[in-house]
Structure 1
């Protein structure tokens, strides 16, 4: 291990060595990042002119290098400060939280004494109340010798683990360099994709990769970035997906790579959502309520050590390890992110407003590569991440059941909400600014709930807590409100008695830009990423983003693509379209019986088409996508597509069966797509169109055409899955014959 060092941030070191006792979330959530920054600025702004801010410090202990930035140093008082912002009653802060803060300050204290030759130092924990703007100082005088002893104790405790991790990293990189592609030979197109992925890491840039379905994109993306991990010094690869099926393919890809390199100690961790990983959803996250939170940090080292000896840390495996050691599975997986090589999870873990993977990357200075599968979903998913809704009906019900101490602040929110509804004439209205009085009342109510939680640690009310977190999210987005978002009010929507308030993100770019910049390399890949500038513009990708359109392994002869240019599926023409659509489907089925999927723009349209088809062609088996469908019903729908089966499955475009399903060979030989997939024209989408037009000059294309055609191409992509498949796709609408629509279809299609 000579010459090799392990670098850790001060906070990461202390969280490893100084966290003890219960997992306790009663003093959280903390102030937002913006509030924290503002709080630090207020405190430092109150100091003298010679006050030093953000003091960079570092030190070494054997092979361990520790670095960080102390919040501030006052040379006149010889006082080193660690500033912590908070809400609520400081006396309610758990003791182990404060112990962690002291540990961080003492480490910084040693590093400062060492750097400046100080014999003694005054340490000050500065707690700043975001609400009252008051400071509480806790001081302690320490000499350099005592600080050095504390430093050596903490570093000594961490060093054994660090040396183990250095050995793991050295063996990992050695095996990655020697690793061969797990499937022997690349599939057609797969090598081109893999080379582009590797080059993006070599250049340290972002990549948009359009690659056909069926070439093995998951392993074709993960393999080259694992090779790059050894060559380019990457710490971790984050593989992110929009749906469970995408995460499953990523885990399968990691497993196949590990099987092909039996000496490779690759730790792959699957992140599960809290609502699926929590063992006690009826209990609060602290030791007095949940048995898996009690003593969490005391039992964590043994659980962490057991997990570190495991390569495939899928959700079930993490749960088994966690329960064997009496700790919470959800928070164990959070801890294991630090020690994993590949992390598989949902987009939100890196791109969301409070993204854990992004935060840890920033905190620890990791060099990471980010893979985003099925990235055509990124725009819609990112918009949801940076949007927030509040339902007046929920607030009305909440006011009746909330504790007495919370009714007054909730009533103020209710009154301000009623005032907004009274001022609005129509059912829907978009606004250029946020309502100040309402936002003030909402913030006051959030503070009141937070204070009540701190004062009543045993209290638990799911409805109040849900409103609390929604209100916090709403307020957080309000802090960064701008031209990228809309504020709107919808009254009586969906039979609702009250109104719906929404901060609606239109362009995620301002939020995601920093996420892309924080990654050494970031690759977005999908079968439908055209036109590339739509994704680059709306997602805020770097100027040096590379673009590749991977050659299709499929030949035009494999897929007969036919445009029914004599049929219009526009809303006003739908009744008249039903008969010709039924006839076209009946003729195709008669000429080539087998399994087909038929896609429509809505359940109503689908049901009418299916009813008529069944009446005209009763001999053809038909099954339909139900309006509300659980996993069992979804599996039953797909089970009808057997190799020896025949019939037509009716589905809604953009639903569960338009992407992410694999029906190779005779399981699916054709598709009918009776829609362009265009989003519905409504007041919200028209607001989006106007905003897109103002920002990009392409309102209709960015709002309607591009998102619609992506769904069409995805659905058609269900038909040809392998180089031996044959099939037929009918594009049913006269607009498919237009040049501006045709150019958005895959280049390898030969459209008749």
Structure 2
């Protein structure tokens, strides 16, 4: 075929070499890699040390038959005729696995071949520059190659990849043909579902973000997935990512894709469910390298066959992926990481795109993908985002671990202990009466000591054939997280120190780098997509979520019409009762009487939500005293998965029971009890976060940033919890139910405006 007739398959240099040049064991001992910021800084240091003739980040590309290979070489010195591939690292370079070095040389050789081809060079010096981010020292390994030798090497890699590329081109064509035929799988759209689907399609087509407040019952998952899939060919989308904070959300997406696939037989769409490492690991007691885990031994040698079997399977939910992996004796988790490169639809937790080290985001940037992003239950992204960019360390745990640590780590850990003691003395000697202090900036000397301890532990890990002690490993990951957040720290964070009781009578503390506003860190992740669609039943007020999530100010916010009629819900605002802390003792009997009267009037299944376990237990005791005949079931403080299932299973179609739960907890959202399984809810609180020193500092910071500290810190998050909990009652168009909102503040107009418009008033 001529060049015109043959479509080009574009492949990045890193992706090409990762496919063709990796072999041997999976080995995570020479880890972790430096953070993105450390890597960028390291590359900058290396470049700054070079002469005036040094060029940075040279874009290169070349064609081999139907392959277009492209990438950016790190640096080229024209006077020395030397091309550099810079790799940042931490630890002892002597312990770098041989297959890592082989991969690095492959990348350098491909860049060298492209450079010789682009600039007509007869030969070139290639240099691997290893830069230690801790010591700032370089180790350079170099060799001179003839252009013909490098061209032959590039041809060899391209030939090894060619069959896969041809398969991928055929897959893309088949996928787009199938998508063109894809029809909505039901005869009609649900009420509000068509408007949602049209809005999503328009957002993707115009390359904009969209916020959609879409109530339960309209089919949000299908109403979002279908238009995204239909937009893939026209907008040249490479991947779709469906992200959620809950396992149930992943399953809903998988179910929706199964339904869509049934409408057009023989779907070529490749779907991958991404599972957390701790849930996917087959051998959690073994370390991730070939000397310890049999599924890591020879992983890259067996990967090609496993990868081919996985693409042939197509629909890779957790069960299917595990079956394929074990059939080829490779690690299921890392097979999933590999298949993220080759799947069309990726379903997983929000951390895969938004976390500091998010795998899908990094892949998208590396591969220059056009991505359509969907975020389910997007109201959770505020707290999840804060958690991703916060870090905490407990000094008492550190001191316990330090006593058991290996001798070779004594010096760096002693330095950490000394710096921490100095910090406590500096902070608490001046504030004898306060156990909580906000620091203007993170403690630099302690941060430096933690970084050095991480480097020492990394060296120790490389030398050990078995895993680390769990306490030492916990400290290691906590210190890494602290270092990453330290790099990001600005006015959107708080640094606080909390005094805690020490065993020896000395002052001990808990240090936290606390993200308050994740928006500036999430904004680049939204910007990296063709379109981001955020949807939830509770996504208002719009300005609150735009501000905290970093969405563009012009991002459209739409409220989909509810499929439910107001006569399905009997709403009572019980404003004669105050649930404020000071009034709780007086509220116990009125609440107990209200709950008992409602149950006697209409027996069935109810959920009653309270602001804390203490409050809940006081109401339960009062109700048992005044109405002992009522069947009660109470959420315990620490419920196992089995206990959670048992709690929900008690809500049967034929049963009658009042379940008591904490608002904002595991039963406040994400559970589905349709029909007679739940006919009512009592919500005895505004759901406001607890007033404490931390939240008051967050309130002050919110006021400084947005001018509305109380609403941003307390009211809006609280009302989201209330509406989510109340949303458990009406799940289908056949449901009928009752909600009691118990607090005098629910009677205020500014509170009522935050309630869904379709709710009736009694």
Deviations 1:248-306 (A, max 9, x none): 11111112112222222111111111111111112111111111111100000000000
> Are residues 1:674 and 2:690 paired?
no
The answer to whether the aligner puts 1:505 opposite 2:508 as a matched pair is: no
Work out the CA distance in 1 between the residues paired with 2:651 and 2:703: 43
Q: Distance in 1 between matches of 2:134 and 2:174?
A: 50
Residue 566 of structure 1, CA deviation: 0.4
Cross-structure match for 2:750: 740
Question: Any conservation in 2 of the 1:202–1:232 contact (CA below 8 Å)?
Answer: yes
1:273 corresponds to: 276
> Are residue 465 (structure 1) and residue 473 (structure 2) matched?
yes
CA 1:487/1:628 → structure 2, altered by over 3 Å: closer, same or farther? same
Deviations 1:625-658 (A, max 9, x none): 1111111111111111111111211111111111
How far the C-alpha of 1:182 sits from its partner, in A, is: 1.6
Superposition map of 1:100-179 within 5 A: 100-179=103-182
1:201 and 2:211 aligned:
no
Matches within 5 A, 1:243-642: 243-422=246-425, 423-424=427-428, 425=432, 426-458=434-466, 460-492=468-500, 498-642=508-652
TM-score relative to the length of structure 2: 0.97
3-state DSSP of counterpart to 1:338: coil
Distance 1:469 1:649 in 2: 39
| More divergent stretch after superposition (372-381 vs 408-417) | 408-417
Moved more, 390-399 or 703-712: 390-399
Aligned-partner SS, 2:392: strand
* Match 2:702 to one of 680, 692, 696: 692
Give how far 1:493 is off. Answer: 7.8
Deviation at 1:311, TM superposition (A): 2.3
1:77 has 2:87 as partner: no
The alignment status of 1:751 with 2:761, answered yes or no, reads yes
d(CA) in 2 for partners of 1:494, 1:217: 51
Aligned with 1:49: secondary structure?
coil
Residue by residue over 1:710-736, the C-alpha shift from the partner in whole angstroms, topping out at 9 and shown as x without a partner, is 000001111111111111101000100
Superimposed CA distance per residue, residues 59-98 of structure 1 (whole angstroms, 9 cap, x where no aligned partner): 1112211111001111111111111111222121111111
CA distance in 2, matches of 1:617, 1:306: 62
Q: Deviations over 1:557-585 (max 9, x none)?
A: 11111100100000000110011111111
Task: Indicate if the aligned counterparts of 1:601 and 1:677 stay in contact, CA closer than 8 A.
Answer: yes
Deviates more, 1:181-190 or 1:165-174: 181-190
8 A contact 1:516–1:542 mirrored in 2: no
Aligned to 1:43: 46
1:522-544 deviation digits (Å, cap 9, x = unpaired): 11110000101101101111234
Check whether the contact 1:595–1:668 (CA below 8 A) recurs between aligned residues: yes
User: What's the CA shift for 1:458?
Assistant: 4.3
How far did residue 457 of structure 1 move? Answer: 4.5
State how far apart, in whole Å, the 2-side matches of 1:587 and 1:459 are. Answer: 59
What is the DSSP-based 3-state SS (H/G/I as helix, E as strand, rest coil) of the residue aligned with 2:340?
Answer: helix
Conserved 8 A contact 1:57-1:67: yes
SS at 1:65 equivalent: strand
Offset of 1:179 from its aligned partner? 0.5
Secondary structure of 1:553's partner? coil
Offset from partner CA, 1:85-135 (integer Å, 9 cap, x none) = 112221211111111111111111111111111111111111112222222
Give the 3 Å change call, closer, same or farther, for CA 527–228 of structure 1 in structure 2. Answer: same
Check the 8 A contact 2:538/2:724 in 1, yes or no. yes
Q: Distance in 1 between matches of 2:641 and 2:477?
A: 28
1:556–1:749 Cα contact (<8 Å) kept: yes
Deviation, 1:3, is 4.0
Distance 1:588 1:459, change over 3 A: closer
Name the Cα RMSD after superposition: 1.5
CA contact (8 A) 1:659 1:714 kept: yes
Distance 2:568 2:467 in 1: 63
Q: Which residue of 2 aligns with 1:726?
A: 736
Following TM superposition, by how much is the alpha carbon of 1:494 offset from its aligned partner in structure 2, in angstroms? 12
* Secondary structure at the counterpart of residue 292 of structure 1: coil
Deviates further, 466-475 or 690-699: 466-475
Q: How many residues align?
A: 752
1:632 and 1:652 map into 2 onto residues whose CA distance is 18
Gaps of 5+ in 1: none
Contact 1:177 1:231 in 2 (8 A): no
Q: In 2, distance between residues paired with 1:616 and 1:216?
A: 42
Partner SS state of residue 308, structure 1: helix
- For 1:544 and 1:741, the matched residues in 2 are separated by 26
Distance 1:620 1:456, change over 3 A: closer
| CA distance in structure 1 between the aligned counterparts of 2:117 and 2:384, rounded to whole angstroms | 48
Q: Bigger CA drift: 482-491 or 583-592?
A: 583-592
Alpha-carbon separation, structure 1, partners of 2:467 and 2:309? 34
CA distance in 2, matches of 1:491, 1:150: 61
Aligned partners of 2:292 and 2:465 also within 8 Å: no
Deviations 1:670-728 (A, max 9, x none): 11100000000000000000000000001000000000000000011111111111111
Q: Which moved more, 1:31-40 or 1:458-467?
A: 458-467
- More moved, 347-356 vs 250-259: 250-259
Give 1:138 shift: 1.3
Counterpart pick for 2:657 among 642, 647, 663: 647
> Separation in 1 of the partners of 2:556 and 2:656?
44
In 2: Cα distance, 1:690 partner to 1:587 partner: 43
Describe the SS at the equivalent of 1:523. strand
Shift >4 Å, 4+ stretches: 493-497
1:619: how far off?
Answer: 2.1
After TM superposition, the structure 1 stretch with the greater mean CA deviation from structure 2, 339-348 or 612-621, is: 612-621
- Report SS of the residue matched to 2:341: helix
Q: 3-state SS of the aligned residue for 1:371? A: strand
Contact 2:286 2:467 in 1 (8 A): no
> Displacement, 1:169?
1.0
Separation (CA, whole Å) in 2 of partners of 1:3 and 1:549: 46
Any idea what the Cα deviations from partners look like across 1:152-198, whole Å, max 9, x if unmatched?
11011111101111111111111111101122321111111111111
Task: Please give the TM-score of this superposition, normalised by the length of structure 1.
Answer: 0.98
